[in-house]
Amino acid sequence: MYNKSMSTANSIPKSKGCVSNTVAILGDKWTPLIIRCLADGSNRFCKLQTEAGGINPRTLSARLSHLEGSGIIQKTPSSEDGAVFPSYMLTQKGRDLLPVISAMADWGDKYAPAN
C-alpha cells in the first residue's frame, strides 16, 4: 500500500494490474472531479454538472453510468417538493478512492503551473 512517506519508485507495488485497474476508473478528465464532488455526500445530476466545471450532460451521464457499473457510486431516488429525481452517492469502494483523489489534489497544488 502506498503512503506519502514513501520516496522511491521501488516503494510502489508492482503487482500486475494494480495501477492499470485504478487508471481504468480514474483515467479520464472528468471522473476524478465527479468523485471529488461526491466526497461530501450525495448530489443531483445538475449539481454535479455545475460543481465539476460545466461537464457536457452526455459526458456526465456516460461517466456516471461507468462509475455505477464499476461499483464506485450508486444511484438512488430522492424527492423534493413531490418530484422524484436520481441522486448519486459514493459506495464504500468509491470512498476508498478519496485518498487517491486527495493525493492528486496535493500533487496538483504543489506543481500547478504559474499563471
pLDDT of residue 2: 45
103: cell is: 493525493
Residue 12 lies in a domain: no
pLDDT score of 5 more than 60: no
Residue 3 lies in a domain: no
Please report, for the domain that includes residue 95, its CATH number: 1.10.10.10
Total domain count, the chain = 1
Q: Is residue 17 assigned to a domain?
A: no
> Domain limits at 71?
22-103
- Digit-coded pLDDT (tens) for 31-51: 999 999 999 999 999 999 999
| Cα(114)–Cα(42) distance, integer angstroms | 34
Tell me, yes or no, whether 7 lies in a domain.
Answer: no
Specify if 4 maps to a domain: no
